[in-house]
């Protein structure tokens, strides 16, 4: 596949599943990284309780505002059970995020990637946008159909242990009509940062995240090389 020049040269940012409590040091580290590298787009997905939870948390209110003031895009985590979760219940979670936390958008996790559920996700994305949110991400965590690309703003086409091959990323984003900003990837269990991989992956995805953390929760801390990851994406 020949990647258009405009796609290759547009910036790639970091998408962080920030599944820690706002008083944890990780939140300040994200703010510091954005302050140090203002040209690198940073998305933080926050997750109070496998969703917005049942009551507002003042620490999340202040923590989210601090991230946003630094220029970080904050998304609220919502699971969809591969389109099996009642859409009204999912919309209610979107409402909670809007009313309690004023997030910038929603990350729809457990996204279906088989034909027939596109309207479910496009309706959810449009609903979030109708609430004033500016970004939606869907996470099938694997390859998906081209019919899903426009249902949300960005699709996570890889979430797994180990780095994907560049060939895999190329094949999963080989839709010439779409820019790389439509795609993201997350890899965990990576002991050392491979900056050459970051450079090559940046050709194909608009956002990425790599961490040395492992299951059962690879998102309860930041990687030891977090600052180097952000720096590797800083093209000035």
The model's pLDDT over 171-202, given as tens digits with 9 standing for 90+, comes to 998 887 899 999 999 999 999 999 999 999 99
135-153 mean pLDDT: 97
The yes-or-no verdict on residue 138 having pLDDT over 90 is yes
CATH of the domain at 149: 3.20.20.80
DSSP characters over 180-226: GGGEEEEEE--SS--HHHHHHHTTT-SEEEE-S--TT-TTSS--TTH
The model's pLDDT over 24-82, given as tens digits with 9 standing for 90+, comes to 999 999 999 999 999 999 999 999 999 999 999 999 999 999 999 999 999 999 999 99
User: Residues of the chain with pLDDT > 90: what percent?
Assistant: 92
Question: Is 67 or 10 the better-scoring residue by pLDDT?
Answer: 67
Q: State which residues form the domain around 88.
A: 5-232
Judged by average pLDDT, the poorest of 7-11, 99-103, 207-211, 230-234 is 7-11
Q: At what angle do helices 118-130 and 87-96 cross, to 10 degrees?
A: 30
Contact 210, 223 (CB under 8 A): yes
- The total of other beta-carbon atoms located within 10 Å of residue 146's CB is 10
User: What is residue 10's predicted lDDT score, i.e. its pLDDT?
Assistant: 83
When divided into structural domains, the chain yields a total of 1
């Amino acid at each position: 596949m020949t990647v258009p020049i405009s796609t290759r040269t547009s910036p790639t940012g970091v998408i962080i599943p920030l599944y820690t409590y706002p008083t944890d040091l990780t939140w300040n580290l994200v703010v510091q990284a954005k302050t140090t590298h203002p040209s690198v787009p940073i998305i933080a997905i926050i997750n109070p309780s496998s969703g917005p939870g049942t009551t507002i948390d003042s620490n999340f209110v202040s923590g989210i505002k601090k991230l946003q003031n630094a220029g970080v895009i904050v998304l609220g985590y919502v699971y969809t059970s591969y389109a099996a979760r009642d859409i009204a219940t999912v919309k209610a979670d979107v409402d909670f995020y809007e009313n309690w936390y004023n997030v910038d958008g929603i990350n729809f996790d457990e996204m279906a990637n088989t034909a027939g559920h596109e309207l479910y996700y496009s309706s959810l994305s449009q609903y979030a946008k109708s609430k004033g949110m500016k970004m939606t991400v869907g996470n099938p965590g694997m390859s998906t159909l081209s019919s899903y690309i426009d249902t949300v703003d960005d699709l996570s086409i890889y979430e797994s242990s180990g780095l994907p091959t560049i060939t895999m990323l190329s094949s999963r984003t080989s839709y010439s009509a779409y820019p790389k900003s439509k795609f993201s990837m997350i890899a965990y269990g990576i002991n050392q940062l491979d900056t050459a991989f970051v450079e090559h992956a940046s050709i194909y995805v608009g956002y990425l995240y790599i961490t040395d953390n492992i299951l059962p929760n690879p998102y309860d801390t930041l990687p030891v090389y977090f600052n180097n990851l952000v720096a590797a994406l800083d093209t000035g």
